[in-house]
Amino acid sequence: MLHSGGHYILSRIIKEGYTSEDRKELEFIKETNLKYFKNQEELLGGDIILLEKQGDSSVRQEIDYLIESFNDGGWEYVESIFDKNIELCGYSDVIRDEISDFDIMKDNIIVRVLNYELHKNELEDRVYRKIGDFVLSVNGLIFSNSKITSFFKISADFLKAWGITEDEVIEIGLENTRRLFPPRVYGVEYALKIKTITQGDGDYMNNSQNIRLGNLGEDTFVAYGTQNGATSFFYPGVKEKIAEMLGGEDYYVVFTSTEDFHVHKCSQNDAASLEKRLIDMNKYFPLGEMLTEKIYKYSVDTGELTEV
């Protein structure tokens, strides 16, 4: 199979259930499973197509997704998916070539939350801040829309070239992430999908007087435009604003996934019960979406988040 423009060829079709004794191949299988099938099994979770760009770049895609895309839009739509992947590969190379220039990169640094144990191999030599059993991972943004966020991870070598510290780059990344993916809170209508959500809805940082949190922790805190919305808890001013909305009380934070979190007043809730509910909930969601199995507490007096 050759792209009409001659830019890439079909390299491999890897069938569901494939495994290998080769260490690098096994890491590829586990990484692919986490990306597409939300698990880290050593057997491939579905059929995968691997395309190679002429040169040294390659992309992979889940075949079932391509079939669905063909049914939706025909071959032109499928080809556009390939083209976008190749475009992102090329753009990534350009970004990497220019990464030593901090003035170019400073607005493209973002932060994502990840479970540490699930991602500890890929976090080697990367810049991150560990908080309990998860991390704030620093990344360079390549491309983003409502469904896809493409990025590359930033290593400590980049910080040397930029002349800044880990703390500084994390704060820059959080501010950029807040600007690109603003924090929002939605009531039960969000979970039940009974209301169409627009960008201005749930803007508690600027319109908190119009938002009333429920007493049962049913409100869902997210970031608009990204599936890594739990990061929004660490945006500048968010922790303090939530405390203000809860009457100035300490509160527990339940990170129900990498996408969102919920808050509960310490005076009205038991941490052990919340943890049991979280562990039970994690069993029903894909592994790749899990952030933590721990409950965290925010102290108004110290301004710190600690694992309970």
Percent of the chain with pLDDT over 90: 41
Assess whether pLDDT exceeds 90 at residue 110.
yes
Structure tokens of 20?
């290998």
In angstroms, the Cα distances linking 144 to 28, 72, 149, 290, 291 are 24, 22, 4, 22, 21
pLDDT band for position 190 (cuts 50, 70, 90): low
274-295 pLDDT, tens digit per residue, is 999 999 999 888 888 899 999 9
pLDDT band for position 196 (cuts 50, 70, 90): low
DSSP state of 126: B
Q: With the C-alpha atoms ordered 201, 207, 209, 212, is the resulting torsion angle positive or negative?
A: positive
203-238 pLDDT, tens digit per residue, is 999 877 778 787 667 899 999 888 889 999 999 999
pTM exceeds 0.85 for this model:
no
Task: Kindly list the domain boundaries of the chain, sorted by start residue.
Answer: 8-97, 102-166, 183-307
Assess whether pLDDT exceeds 80 at residue 50.
no
Top mean-pLDDT range of 61-70, 111-120, 222-231, 295-304: 295-304
pLDDT score for 5: 44
Task: For residue 172, give every residue at least 6 positions away whose Cβ sits within 8 Å of its Cβ, in sequence order, or none.
Answer: 106, 109, 164
Scored b (16 or more CB within 10 A) or e, 76-100 reads eebeebbeebbebbeebeebeeebe
Please count the helices (runs of H) and the strands (runs of E) in the chain: 10, 13
